[in-house]
Amino acid sequence: MNDDQKLHEQADQGDAAGGETAPETAGGELDRLTELEKELEEVRQHALYAQAETHNVRRRLEQEKLNASAYAVTGFAREMLSVKDNLDRALGSVPEELRQDGKLAALLAGIEATARELDAVFQRNGITRIDAMGVPLDPNRHQAMVEIPSEEAEPGTIVQEMQSGYMIKDRLLRPALVGVAKRP
């Protein structure tokens, strides 16, 4: 056998040996690559879920912060409503002849000015009075205390307001206590 034949034979053996080992090595590498791609996709999904959860938590905290600042005065406002009720009762109980009395006119003017200022403070803080008289009963804003027989008003219509109701922005602060019409 000459040198050329030996080289060809060795090359053929190398091809045969390389041909057998190359698919086995490539197959193992493909499996490993597929496994790594699956792991990478799982890690990507977890990262996306974590990012979405972080975004949701941040948005929820921002909303809670806005609500806390917007409705921080709720407790104080509820307590101030009793002051408003007392001022209104005081003004409503003064007979017309006493209003004409010069000595009491200044006192009444002061009480009325205080009531107007309290209304202005309520308005600046988003506290509004709920309309009740003549409107249909809304259980989200009104609390029916009594049914009153009435021929003039439709059943379910408010015909008497016992206590004013108030909203703070878009939330109920206190329901209006009302009397509702019913058929006689």
In a shared domain, residues 142 and 164: yes
In a shared domain, residues 27 and 54: yes
In a shared domain, residues 62 and 113: no
With contact defined as beta carbons under 8 Å apart, do 91 and 111 qualify? yes
Number of domains in the chain: 3
pLDDT bracket for residue 98 (50, 70, 90): confident
16-38: average pLDDT: 71
Pairing of strands 176-182, 158-163: antiparallel
Domain that holds residue 15: 1-70
Pairing of strands 142-149, 166-168: unpaired
In a shared domain, residues 85 and 132: no
Is the pLDDT higher at 16 or at 137?
137
Residue 54 CB neighbour total at 10 angstroms = 10
pLDDT of residue 106: 84
* Residues contacting 87, CB < 8 A, separation 6+: 111, 114, 115, 118
Domain boundary among 44, 70, 96: 70
Helix residue spans in the chain (DSSP H): 3-70, 74-92, 96-100, 102-124
Residue 142 CA to residue 32 CA, distance in Å, equals: 69
pLDDT of residue 18: 47
In a shared domain, residues 62 and 106: no
pLDDT of residue 6: 54
Mean pLDDT over the full length of the chain: 86
136-143: average pLDDT: 94
In a shared domain, residues 110 and 58: no
